Amino acid sequence: MLIPFLIGCLITAVLSFDQQPLTDSTTSHYPRLNFSSSSPLIFHSTFALLQQWPNTFFPAGHTIAPCTIPPNTNLYHARPNNTFPPSPEWFAFDSAMAYGIRGTTADSHLLTFRTAKAVKCLYFDGTSAALQYDGSMDSQNVFLHNTSAEAPADPVFGDHPPRWPPGGNSTNPGSNETVWVPLYAEYARAAGLCNFIKEKNLGGPGWGYESIIRMDEGFEVIWCNFSSPSAGLVSWLNVSAPALIGVTPPKFPRRRPDHMANTFIEHRVGLMDERPERNWTYVYLPGYDRPFKEAGAKEWFRTAAKTYGFAGGVPGRGEARVKTDSCGLFSFYDPALVDQSHARVVYNRKQFNLSSDGYWLGPKNSSDSRVTALQQLSLRRRYMLDRNISEPDGLYMRSAVEDRMRAMLSGEESTCSGIDWVETSRTIVADYSSPLYDLRSLLSRITTSSLTNATIVRAQVDLVRGLAHQFVMPYYEYPPHFANATLHKAFSPESPSSLAALVRCKNQHTPAPSTPLSTSETLTFSSILSVLSALCTTLLPIFLSTEILWLEHFNNVKAYPTTIPSFLQTRISETSTSQLEAVDELMAWLGWTDQWTNCEPGCSVGQVCAIPMWPVPIGLERYRGPGSHWQLNRTNGPRVANGLHAEP
């Protein structure tokens, strides 16, 4: 499967050499960024596994990961009556999430279970439990139905909702009203995923895979069999609180006309552009007299915020109660999915103005904003959906996931390196995301300021130099001999010391050649290598050009200029501008928008930076802690809330 892909690469690379004159920065050692490459996409999806914050920015999941829930993990299930759950049903990792979903009815019961052993799970990334039309459900649907063509046209609620009760009920026989059962498709998905495990003999009560992990506002578990000895019942409590007295019931009809139902769905689900017209009615359960309804929703939000993980470039814990097995990841960006990959490349080329080699050509109309275009590029992963899975792609997916799940089950260590690739990708994001943002800020300060005052200019170049040096420090040895006359040669990107640093930098996480890598690890590692290559081939030249500028003009503390002559102003301005452009494009290529977005100003103690997470009403600004008010704000655009500040 990989061979045609590699041949394709070679052919297009040769063509591009014919067509485009290459400058220093686009030689084979420093290739231009390829925006058609799957590497930054695979990398970001891998890095973000089990992290609430980045997965909220990029809801359409692309990874299916075998995983483990450790022993002694608490699992919570709330129900609106006193029955034992059927199978499969859902668990939350946090009691507040279970309570927020089903805990505030007149007869709510909370069942607490605790795992008796390590339990295998299968994790779908993105907002895979959010009932939205933005691609959230696609990876599960395509996994269950083999191909995109077979997946339900309505990805959220399924295509054939049952009449409920069929043909009426005992008091009203023969009624032909179609009553919508909102969670019908959810139960069908849960059963389908559990059946896959059962049919493939990958698990059952007490052994192997017994659960599916998904995320909406927090992480949840589809538990395949509640009679499994793998999790024991710890408590079963009636958590209903006394009703509020004297509250006027809201004036909603019990059975709403269609347009009302639609309004309600719109309100709850958000992003409904692709929702097919439906004429189902909705049975509304008001619960207007329930205490803790609002408080329960807030606490659910707070508990989900604890699993934000990496946010604003600062490492966080994510959903630490699940451990992914990074030897067995499956990615929908895998080039082995030939038709899906082809469709993605074609779509991106058109949508984001790319050449056939994947080079970004900039906005088609010169009047259109570069900043806007860079934002679009940076967010491109939001718009990539698993919707072109052909039959061969589907077969590859099904067998790859099955094989990898089985390999993780039998502990076939010989096929795995033992390297934690998810942690490796997180290390890279931790090492580079904030410093890149800072470098960009420093460079844009130079490009927008007046360059006449030598003291100020020297200080600004010094800051850029310090940061650029930090990026290359572990890999770079200064050339032994250089004078002003040979400075440009000594610090050229093609000089021996530069090329040696480049190799070290790119390979900063490369395992020894004898390391065995599974098929999955080979792809994950190749995406990591591409990301490091992009970082190093962009940052090393920035370091080198800054060194030349510095050594030529600012290095002698006693003799640096008091004013900057105009030729030097021009040079500094040109150097910084091209450096800034390179950093901007690198940041857009990486697409770590989630890490460059945060609440501004930052939160104080007790506050939580809020992003809209389904199903909490979208558009929250900031939750200011117990006893305070939510600031509600509805938006339908990209789910970057008001009060958040996004760069670039």
Q: Which residues bind ligand NAG (CB under 6 A)?
A: 8-9, 12-13, 16, 34, 36-38, 79-83, 87, 106-107, 145-146, 150, 169, 171-172, 174-177, 205, 225, 227, 238, 240, 277, 279, 345, 352-353, 357-358, 362-365, 368, 372-373, 376-377, 398, 453, 455-456, 483-484, 552, 556, 559, 621, 631, 633, 642
Closer to ligand NAG by CB, 392 or 435: give it: 392
Closer to ligand NAG by CB, 87 or 444: give it: 87
Closest distance to ligand NAG from the beta carbon of 168 (Å): 6
Closer to ligand NAG by CB, 515 or 555: give it: 555
Closer to ligand NAG by CB, 369 or 515: give it: 369
- Taken in order 115, 116, 118, 122, the sign of the CA dihedral is negative
Closest distance to ligand NAG from the beta carbon of 391 (Å): 9
H-only helix segments in 558-617: 566-590
Residues 6+ positions from 373 with CB-CB distance below 8 Å: 352, 353, 362, 363
Closest distance to ligand NAG from the beta carbon of 563 (Å): 7
Tokens of 295: 């408080």
Closer to ligand NAG by CB, 223 or 471: give it: 223
Q: How far apart are CA 120 and CA 223, in angstroms?
A: 11
The answer to whether the beta carbons of residues 577 and 448 sit under 8 Å apart is no
Q: How far apart are CA 152 and CA 158, in angstroms?
A: 6
Closer to ligand NAG by CB, 352 or 614: give it: 352
Closer to ligand NAG by CB, 238 or 515: give it: 238
The answer to whether the beta carbons of residues 590 and 40 sit under 8 Å apart is yes
Residue 137 C-beta-side C-alpha neighbours within 13 Å: 21
Q: How far apart are CA 487 and CA 94, in angstroms?
A: 60
Residue of 289, 357, 329, 306 lying closest to 106 (CA atoms): 289
Closest distance to ligand NAG from the beta carbon of 418 (Å): 29
Residue 292 C-beta-side C-alpha neighbours within 13 Å: 19
Closest distance to ligand NAG from the beta carbon of 471 (Å): 24
**Residues facing residue 514 across a β-bridge:** none
Tokens of 180: 């919508």
**Residues facing residue 644 across a β-bridge:** 599
The answer to whether the beta carbons of residues 77 and 236 sit under 8 Å apart is no
Closer to ligand NAG by CB, 13 or 233: give it: 13
Strand-pair category, 119-124 with 109-115:
unpaired
Closest distance to ligand NAG from the beta carbon of 87 (Å): 4
Closest distance to ligand NAG from the beta carbon of 355 (Å): 9
Closest distance to ligand NAG from the beta carbon of 434 (Å): 25
